A = this chain, B = another copy of it.
Amino acid sequence: MSATRMFLDSSGSAPLTPRVTDALRAGFADGWADPNRLHAESRRARALVEGARAAVADVLGAQTEYVHFTPSVNIAFERVTAGICAARRGRDRAVVSAIERDALLDSAHHVTRGHVDLVSVDSLGHLDLAQFSSLTSDPATAVAAVQHANHEIGTVQRLADIHAITQERSVPLIVDATASIGHIEAPQDWDALVANPADWGGPAGLGVVAMRPQTRWLQAWPDGDPWAPGGISVPLALAAAVALQERVEQQQETATRLGGYVDEIRAAFDNLEEVAVVGDTNERLPHVLTAAFLYLDGEPLVTRLDREGIAVGSGSACGKETFEPSRVLEVMGALTHGNLRVGLHPGIAHEDVRRFIEVLPRVISDVKSDMGVFGS
């Protein structure tokens, strides 16, 4: 990457830090062997994975033997949803917040053969608790799934209230923490949790599932390993754990600093016309921000900023098609044509943010004139 480039799309990926790169090097040197065999090379690989599981479990507040690496976040969702539903015979419905990631919605649809009830959110992105309570009271409810924090707008759900409802109904709650772990305190109100190492500065190509000991599930696919069919990469697991440790050590300081930058960016957007920053300004992830545009597409904004050396996101952060309009914003009732998503990683400096804020009005006005939009 050229020295002048600036990566402001850290929602699901970030440049690897030297410490993570070192962990990868060590992992590939010592952890290349199949961890399921008997000899020393295999035992060494197994020890690395076990150490990584323990380190991740510690941050999640989970027990090591109930924390599993999967080959991707999507596979984590597939397996955990299918596994829990398989143990809930006679019940065939999933209750899911309407702003969940596609990967979770797809899994829920597949496992329940389409019997998915979506729960609305308010204009800040918070779950409609009354509707959630009413839908989960259906005795056919096999599972409920709610995210900890939204990957686009940053809103953090009130999981204590949500979990209290599912516990009263004895419905297992899957919490999607793929946008929050490493950024804010790990949630404790869940029966199963999914996390994404690439989102906390680890390498892509892994997912994490944590279960509570009392959460019942059955193996839904016949393969030997229910969580990692065919195994996972040991060096990636090691690096994921090291990245998490690094983030957690600096979590409070990073959140304060990046939260300040996000406030500055929000203020800059507030000064512009026909654009609104979406989501809760208090109960939120510190490092992400989405701005919704009334008349502009996201794609030319991303492309023009990219030419200025600035990488940002647009569209559904985790949608199937990168540039389909954001389903999250649609569900929230945000009046939006295109959107622009910023995700800050700890390597971002104040001067980067200042340059972004400086460049932004000109880029927006360039896109407007390209599109023939000259104000309303």
- 25 A-B pairs whose Cβ atoms sit less than 8 Å apart in the complex: A7-B41, A9-B33, A9-B37, A9-B39, A13-B33, A13-B34, A15-B32, A16-B32, A25-B25, A28-B203, A33-B311, A37-B302, A37-B311, A38-B302, A38-B323, A74-B230, A76-B230, A103-B230, A107-B223, A110-B222, A203-B235, A204-B232, A205-B231, A205-B233, A206-B233
Taking a contact as CB atoms closer than 8 A, the residue among B72, B234, B311 that contacts A71 in the complex is B72
Q: Are B322 and A38 interface neighbours, CB within 8 A? A: yes
Does A147 sit within 8 A of B, measured CB to CB?
no
Known A78-B229, A205-B236, A233-B233; judge A38-B314 contact (CB<8 A): yes
Give the complex CA separation of A321 and B39 in angstroms: 15
Taking a contact as CB atoms closer than 8 A, the residue among B41, B42, B204 that contacts A32 in the complex is B204
* Complex interface residues of chain A between 119 and 134 (CB less than 8 A to chain B): none
Q: Are A234 and B109 interface neighbours, CB within 8 A? A: no
Does A245 sit within 8 A of B, measured CB to CB?
no
1/0 per residue A60-100: CB within 8 Å of B?
00000000000111111010000000000000000000000
Give the complex CA separation of A15 and B322 in angstroms: 37
A residues near B, CB below 8 A?
Answer: 1, 5, 7, 9, 12-16, 21, 24-25, 28, 30, 32-34, 36-42, 71-76, 78, 102-103, 106-107, 109-110, 198, 203-207, 221-224, 228-236, 299, 302-303, 305-306, 311-314, 320-323
Give the complex CA separation of A234 and B16 in angstroms: 13
Q: Are A302 and B203 interface neighbours, CB within 8 A? A: no
Residue in B closest to A310 when the chains form the complex, CB atoms: B39
Least Cβ–Cβ distance between A376 and chain B, in angstroms: 27
Tell me the number of copies of this protein. 2
Residue in B closest to A10 when the chains form the complex, CB atoms: B33
Known A13-B32, A16-B32, A203-B28; judge A228-B72 contact (CB<8 A): yes
Taking a contact as CB atoms closer than 8 A, the residue among B32, B232, B302 that contacts A39 in the complex is B302
Taking a contact as CB atoms closer than 8 A, the residue among B1, B110, B230 that contacts A75 in the complex is B230
Q: Are B34 and A204 interface neighbours, CB within 8 A? A: yes
Contacts of A222 in B (CB 8 A): 106, 109-110
Q: Are A36 and B230 interface neighbours, CB within 8 A? A: no
Contacts of A103 in B (CB 8 A): 223, 229-230
Give the complex CA separation of A16 and B235 in angstroms: 12
Contacts of A21 in B (CB 8 A): 28
Least Cβ–Cβ distance between A328 and chain B, in angstroms: 16
Taking a contact as CB atoms closer than 8 A, the residue among B73, B232, B323 that contacts A230 in the complex is B73
Contacts of A1 in B (CB 8 A): 30, 40-41
Taking a contact as CB atoms closer than 8 A, the residue among B12, B106, B302, B320 that contacts A34 in the complex is B12
Contacts of A312 in B (CB 8 A): 39
Give the complex CA separation of A14 and B37 in angstroms: 13
Residue in B closest to A77 when the chains form the complex, CB atoms: B230
Taking a contact as CB atoms closer than 8 A, the residue among B40, B74, B102, B233 that contacts A306 in the complex is B40
Contacts of A5 in B (CB 8 A): 40-41
Known pairs A71-B75, A75-B230, A102-B224 / 7 extra A-B pairs, C-beta < 8 Å: A9-B42, A13-B34, A15-B32, A16-B28, A32-B203, A40-B306, A78-B223
